[in-house]
């Protein structure tokens, strides 16, 4: 059937990123079930892995998440505005002088990565009323951010410094968790326990998504999943993982063409047609997050069939070979990237699923699929359509629940831990009355 014989479609030339917030919440609960004795936080750094920290943060809050991790204070401010005052937001990169105002104003909790950061932030804490709690990050073998063994010794010896920082978590990060057989996992676990034991008793956190699958010895009081929330592959054994993809990139078909054998396609003529072929030009390119490395190696899905990418991916457009597609291909239809093909795309591009998600372009129209949240305001106004692409109608279902009586407006109240290190502590570690 030719293009002119098909019923015309109504479509936009703008590609769409379809993000399933219902599946996101199901992934959160699936990971929570794997670590039933631990609190489950969420890593929403880098704009929630490229999916939109505001909408993702609200959806996770609606699923019951109250502990979030971002990389920078700017990310934390955006998330604070989205979820309201009652969630704990930790800034993994720690405090810096130019971030002081944002950290304090948005009630963010810095993760302390060095003795220098510790001394700087302790000075800030002495200057303000009701400063936020912190977390202490110990390096146990990744040699990235984190306190060295010598830093831990100095912190342990300086009781006033510890009191000024008032930490509510001691944490570390696993370097090789996806590979359960890597001996560094057990070595990091041993180092973490040994170094944490030098500090005053404090709840501990070690596991990312892959760390959750290493078992309960790695869970401690808090796990911090990231890629698993978004449906990425976290371990070298995908069959054991209980999460599913939450995102698909839908690229509109803009033009259909016939190409004769011997003709070239795309920039630099990197593909020469070996036979007569039919191609579809779709409206998504490397500006939208499709790596150039997928050129002539990757594929998309049209009508549930894999169709190869031919020619070099350009900034706004990608060419697909649709010669073998059984169902009619039509201008205005869509080619699907990511989704169940996320790992295949990462493999074909020679990268990891994390990077593919992070690279998703800001010009993509974001279409959030959502269900009803368990956290609903007591009074719901009639829903009105949202005009902004990043805030579709229905998003308010994921705003923090209003409480009866006087609300708790103190975001510095500890959001994790147990006993004297959890919610029973008042400001600055004093017992509540």
In order of start, what are the domains of the chain with their CATH numbers? 3-16+245-367 (2.40.37.10), 21-230 (3.20.20.10)
| pLDDT for res 6 | 66
Q: Which one from 45, 77, 107, 109 is the annotated catalytic residue?
A: 45
* pLDDT at res. 370: 85
Active site (annotated) includes residue 391: no
Task: Output b/e per residue, 291-322; b: 16+ Cβ within 10 A.
Answer: beebbbebbbbbeeeebbbbbbbbebbbbbbb
Q: How far is CA 329 from CA 8, 9, 278, 303, 317, in A?
A: 12, 12, 10, 8, 17
Residue 371's pLDDT is 73
Q: Is 267 a catalytic residue?
A: yes
Catalytic site residue from 159, 190, 198, 267? 267
Q: Quick one: pLDDT at residue 5?
A: 58
pTM reported for the whole predicted model:
0.83
pLDDT of the residue at 383: 36
pLDDT given for residue 145 in this prediction: 97
Q: What is the pLDDT along the chain (433 residues), one digit of tens a residue?
A: 444 456 788 899 999 999 999 999 999 999 999 999 999 999 999 999 999 999 999 999 999 999 999 999 999 999 999 999 999 999 999 999 999 999 999 999 999 999 999 999 999 999 999 999 999 999 999 999 999 999 999 999 999 999 999 999 999 999 999 999 999 999 999 999 999 999 999 999 999 999 999 999 999 999 999 999 999 999 999 999 999 999 999 999 999 999 999 999 999 999 999 999 999 999 999 999 999 999 999 999 999 999 999 999 999 999 999 999 999 999 999 999 999 999 999 999 999 999 999 999 989 999 999 875 444 433 333 333 333 343 333 333 334 444 444 344 344 444 443 333 233 344 444 433 3
């Amino acid at each position: 059937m030719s293009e002119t014989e098909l019923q015309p479609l109504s479509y936009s030339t703008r590609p769409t990123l379809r993000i399933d917030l219902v599946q996101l919440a199901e992934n959160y609960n699936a990971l929570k079930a794997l670590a039933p004795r631990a609190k489950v936080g969420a890593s929403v750094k880098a704009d929630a892995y490229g999916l939109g920290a505001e909408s993702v943060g609200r959806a996770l809050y609606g699923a019951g998440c109250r502990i979030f991790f971002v990389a920078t204070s700017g990310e934390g401010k955006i998330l604070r505005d989205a979820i309201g005052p009652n969630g704990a937001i930790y800034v993994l990169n720690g405090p810096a002088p130019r971030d002081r105002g944002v950290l304090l104003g948005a009630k963010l909790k810095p993760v302390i990565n060095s003795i220098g950061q510790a001394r700087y932030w302790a000075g800030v804490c002495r200057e303000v009323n009701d400063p936020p709690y912190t977390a202490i990050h110990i390096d146990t073998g990744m040699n990235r951010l984190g306190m060295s063994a010598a830093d831990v010794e100095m912190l342990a010896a300086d009781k006033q410094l510890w009191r000024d920082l008032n930490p509510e978590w001691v944490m570390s990060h696993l370097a090789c968790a996806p590979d359960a057989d890597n001996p560094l996992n057990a070595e990091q676990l041993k180092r973490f326990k040994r170094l944490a034991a030098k500090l005053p008793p404090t709840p501990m956190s070690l596991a990312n998504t892959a760390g959750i699958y290493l078992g309960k010895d790695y869970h401690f009081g808090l796990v911090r999943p990231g890629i698993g929330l978004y449906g990425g592959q976290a371990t070298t054994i995908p069959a054991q993982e209980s999460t599913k993809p939450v995102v698909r990139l839908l690229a509109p078909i803009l033009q259909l063409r016939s190409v004769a054998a011997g003709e070239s396609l795309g920039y630099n003529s990197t593909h020469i047609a070996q036979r007569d072929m039919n191609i579809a030009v779709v409206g998504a390119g490397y500006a939208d997050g499709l790596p150039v490395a997928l050129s002539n190696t990757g594929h998309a899905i049209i009508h549930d069939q894999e169709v190869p990418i031919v020619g070099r991916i350009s900034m706004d457009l990608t060419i697909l070979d649709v010669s073998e597609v059984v169902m009619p291909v039509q201008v205005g239809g869509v080619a699907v990237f990511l989704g169940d093909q996320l790992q295949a795309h990462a493999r074909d591009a020679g990268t990891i699923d994390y990077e593919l998600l992070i690279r998703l372009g800001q010009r993509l129209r974001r279409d959030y699929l959502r269900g009803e949240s368990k956290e609903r305001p007591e009074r719901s106004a009639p829903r009105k359509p949202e005009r902004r692409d990043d805030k579709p109608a229905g998003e308010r279902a994921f705003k923090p629940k209003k409480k009866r009586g006087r609300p708790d407006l103190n975001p510095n109240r500890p959001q994790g831990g147990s006993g004297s290190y959890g919610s029973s502590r008042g400001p600055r570690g004093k017992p509540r009355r």
